[in-house]
Every structure is written in structure tokens, then in C-alpha cells.
Amino acid sequence: MGLSDGMIKKGTGPFLIMVTAAFFGAPYTFANQTPTIEDLDRAIAMNASSGDAYYDRALLWEKQAKWDKAVADFSEAIKLHPDDVESIYGRANAYERLKNFGAALEDYGRLKDLTPKDATVFYNHGLCLAILNRPSGAIADFDAAINLNPQDADSYINRGLSWMKEGNTPQAIADINRSLDLKPDNPVAYYNRGIIDGKQGKLDEAIKDFGKAIELNPDYAQSYINRGNVYIQENEYGLGRFDFTKAIDIDPDVAEAYNNRAIVYYQLGEYDKAMVDLTRAKALGYKVDEKLAAQVKKLMDK
């Protein structure tokens, strides 16, 4: 059990912040009304070479979170207009939603050629590389994004996380601190600095940073989980239990919190509660420590 260390989007945790551009062109209209899916189906049946109809139908699929269908329609629009930036951007976003980051990376690569002054394109290309565990390439993209938009705090955060992957902790801290200079009330930066603090063994600093992240965004369960993990390292089991319970209150399906609270209950001698939490964590797909589970069962049977 330790600090969570993964590449995540805004809202779930260390934060890699996905930035996507929404392109909503002039609506495809029928008698001055925005078309429905059915309207666009008919339009495409009548004229299969209408890139606009495929594009507009893809936007409607996006609104319904039907990402596979959005990809299919954006792809048809791109076949008809291979250099259409809006369609390529839309498909890249849909691929991201499907967690197909390799395909999204290809689309952002095309966009880098088509829109070389768009900082967001370099940002998202870098983010895909980071998620695919290619931090050196990600750093180059975040460098480009920062050159194009030096005031973007998120680029500094994500470049900092990539530096951390490369083992360059001083540069990682410098980038996260720079992001806080630009955006002092950003919980994302405090959260990620807490991750780095914890990895360096700076537990008191980690607790402060997770606390600040919680103050700024009290509804993010992972901040409580990571602060709870640090409390356990300091043998503050009561505080750890509080944080894991709070995380569960926020998100009843967060398996890690059940697992880690079970460890607290074990340390406190509350074996029945430990077993309940281990069972719940396992049911949610968490890979629990089977030796710990066996030990808890043995102690319960005494």
C-alpha cells in the first residue's frame, strides 16, 4: 500500500489533466431547426458524400456519450475531408473517451502538422504519450505547449509528472511549484505535489499538500486515500481510518479505500471489520493481500 501513482484525467488521481477543444460548427439545419439523429440518417441516405452530415451526427453521438458511433462518423467525415481539423479533433477526443490512446495519439500527431500553433494539440499529444508511459516524448510536447502558452498551469503540472517518471524530482517539483505560481488555488497541483512529497519521504509536507487539495476540492476521494496512506506510515491509524471512511462516503465503490481501511482495522485489532472491508475490496476487483486475509481469518477464529 502506498501513494497512488497513475496517469489520470481531471477528476480522478495523480492528475494528468485532459484538455480537449470542442468544435461546434454551424448546425446542420432542416427548416431552421437543429437536426435529430433521424434527420441526419435521412440526409446521409440521400447524399452519402456529405461530410457535414457525418460530422454533425458525430456531435450528436458525442452528446449521448456513444463514442464508438462518434468515431465512426468522424472517420467518415475525415474520409471525405482528410484535413478537416474539427473532425480529426472530434475523433481524437472520442478515442480518448474510449481509452484508445494510441489512436488518439495518431490523430493529435496529424493535428500537430495541421495546426502547429495550437498549444492544446501539443498538450493532448503529450498527455497521450504520458498515459502510454513515454515520458520523454511527453516532456517535449509539454515544452512545446508551454512555449505556445506560457501561462498554462496544467502543462507545468503534467510536465512535472513526466519529469517524475524520468526520475528528475527537482525538475518535477519546480514545474508543480510554477503551476501554483500561475494558479494558486489549484487542488490538482497540491495533490500531485503531495504525491511527490510522499515518494520522497516528506510525510508532513505530503499531509499538508493533500489537506490543501481536500480544502479546495473536498469531493475527490483519492486525496483522502493518499492522505490516509501517509497517516498509516506515521502510525496515525485513527486519522487514517477517518480518511478512508471519508473516501468511501464520497465513492462507495472505491476499492482501495476498503482495502486500506481493512489494514487499519487489522492494526487496531478489529478483525471482524477488517474482514468485511477485505471482502468488499475483493468484490470490487481489488487484489487484496491473501496472506493478510488468511491472518485476519485466523485471528477471528481464535
Average pLDDT, whole number, for the chain? Answer: 89
pLDDT for res 177: 97
**What residue spans of the chain are helical by DSSP H?**
37-46, 51-63, 67-80, 85-97, 101-114, 119-131, 135-148, 153-165, 169-182, 187-199, 203-216, 221-233, 237-250, 255-267, 271-283, 290-300
User: Are domains 1-18+118-208 and 218-302 of this chain identical in fold?
Assistant: yes
Structure confidence at residue 231 (pLDDT): 97
Assess if CATH 3.30.360.10 describes domain 22-100: no
Q: Specify the pLDDT at position 4.
A: 45
Distance CA 87, CA 232 (A): 49
Q: Which tens digit of pLDDT belongs to each residue from 70-118?
A: 999 999 999 999 999 999 999 999 999 999 999 999 999 999 999 999 9
Between 74 and 11, residue with greater pLDDT: 74
Question: Is residue 16 scored above 80 in pLDDT?
Answer: no
Band (6; pLDDT cuts 50, 70, 90): very low
Distance (Å, whole) CA 106 – CA 104: 5
CATH topology of domain 1-18+118-208: 1.25.40
Q: Please write the tens of the pLDDT for every residue from 222-232.
A: 999 999 999 99
- Give this prediction's pTM: 0.81
Distance CA 294, CA 289 (A): 9
Q: What is the DSSP letter of 218?
A: T
User: Domain ranges in the chain?
Assistant: 1-18+118-208, 22-100, 218-302
- pLDDT mean over 161-178: 96
Mean of pLDDT values over 248-254 = 97
pLDDT value for 14: 42
pLDDT band at 8 (very low <50, low <70, confident <90, very high): very low
User: Which pLDDT score is estimated for 221?
Assistant: 95
In the CATH scheme, what is the homologous superfamily, with its name and number, of domain 218-302? Answer: Tetratricopeptide repeat domain (1.25.40.10)
| Residue 205: how many other CB atoms lie within 10 Å | 16
12-21, 130-139, 144-153, 159-168: which range is least confident on average? 12-21
